[in-house]
Amino acid sequence: MTKLILFTDLHMVPEGETIIGLDPAKRLSAGIAHVNRYHADADRVIVMGDLAHWADKSSYVRLKAELDKLVPPLAITIGNHDRREIFLEVFTNAVTDENGFVQRVIDFDDCRAVLLDTLFAPPYDYPNSHAGLLCEKRMAWLETQLETAGDKPVLLFMHHPPHATGFTGMDLIRLTNEVEFYDLVKRYGNVLHIFAGHVHRTISGSSRGIPFSVFKSPCHQQPMPFEAPDASLSVDEPAAYGIAVMTDTGILVHTEDYEIAKHEAEVA
């Protein structure tokens, strides 16, 4: 049974910088240590974008040093806070498709994992650069992965949720071509689950009949009030990552609030 660890919205900053007083490197380091201690047997750690808060090279270098500590193998894609060309300068082993997008397919015994690059840039102009997009080339690539999956169920991993999540500000910068995306996905009917980040909340449900999961950040979280129009607001809540495990009948999805769990484990 394939077991996947899921991180999103790492928002690494240069050494000495913080986000609302939080050090993304410290919180991510604790998460990586937790994974290595309790889930070293995972088949893959998948990271779903917003890797560096300001997309600067020093932050990517700092991030790579942390991710290199992982025991399970890593698969990675990018989000709206990233710059594709700077990311690839540092993560020289990152897999890209034939058009240079940071997306890939990984076949396991019981599923096909497809990582999508939803970065709507360049140009890096607000608000488009923070919304998500799967252009014609990326949509064509996705169609190929769905078409060639055979009997394997497909798991999609993407930074931007392809539908509204109920948060007013974040929904303004979700995937812009969600109708075309779901038309394609529904046409093949083999997507078992969609995983996303971007919103910095734990959210689950279904859209167009397909289940989805959205995960919190290892660093800062989105305030809970739905009507907040400002997508940049942040609060200090426990860091988290996701766990997805294939079963004989489907898939199980868990959220690990590892800062809380860590203290409980020490007490026990």
Tell me the pTM.
Answer: 0.95
Domain 3-267 has CATH 3.60.21.10: yes
Q: What are the boundaries of each domain within the chain?
A: 3-267
pLDDT in tens, 118-154: 999 999 988 889 999 999 999 999 999 999 999 999 9
In 3D, which of 220, 214, 219, 225 has the Cα closest to residue 174? 214
Residues 6+ apart with CB under 8 A from 264: none
Q: Which residue has the tokens 């812009």?
A: 176
Tens-digit pLDDT string for the chain (268 aa): 999 999 999 999 999 999 999 999 999 999 999 999 999 999 999 999 999 999 999 999 999 999 999 999 999 999 999 999 999 999 999 999 999 999 999 999 999 999 999 999 999 988 889 999 999 999 999 999 999 999 999 999 999 999 999 999 899 999 999 999 999 999 999 999 999 999 999 999 999 999 999 999 999 888 877 777 776 778 889 999 999 999 999 999 999 999 886 455 454 4
pLDDT in tens, 89-115: 999 999 999 999 999 999 999 999 999
The pair phi, psi for residue 29, each rounded to 5°, is -60, -40
Q: Which residue has the tokens 């779903």?
A: 48
